[in-house]
Amino acid sequence: MEQKDFFQDVWEVVRLVPKGRVTTYGAIAKYLGTKMSARMVGWAMNAAHGQPKIPAHRVVNRNGDLSGKMHFKTPTAMEDLLKKEGIGVENDRIVDFPNRLWDPEKELI
């Protein structure tokens, strides 16, 4: 699989994450059959700027931390977008993360 194809696949999964839910880099990687490629999912998210309708703010790390927040236009943009969708954030971490988690392996059956 070429890198560009992988990035496109990641973006397609991220576009499916519903408002009010979040997913993780690792969950996306596992769903795409590349379980050990969470970091590459992060690279795809960094490359998503300028791509149409990719809700990158809905992708967090395995602990629910806003680990990608520094890649948004402002330091609070990721948190602001999540809060606008009704997701609580405290200390750069998703509140009630287990219940907000959208796992593509379970949701896209």
Per-residue pLDDT tens for 56-104?
Answer: 999 999 999 999 999 999 999 999 999 999 999 999 999 999 999 999 9
Query: Could you tell me what percent of the chain has a pLDDT over 70?
Result: 96
CATH architecture entry for 3-101: Orthogonal Bundle (1.10)
Distance (Å, whole) CA 73 – CA 10: 21
Judge contact between 97 and 64, C-beta under 8 A: yes
Q: Which tokens is 28 given?
A: 């996306």
Distance (Å, whole) CA 71 – CA 47: 10
The domain segmentation of the chain, as residue ranges, is 3-101
Q: pTM of the predicted model, to two decimals?
A: 0.92
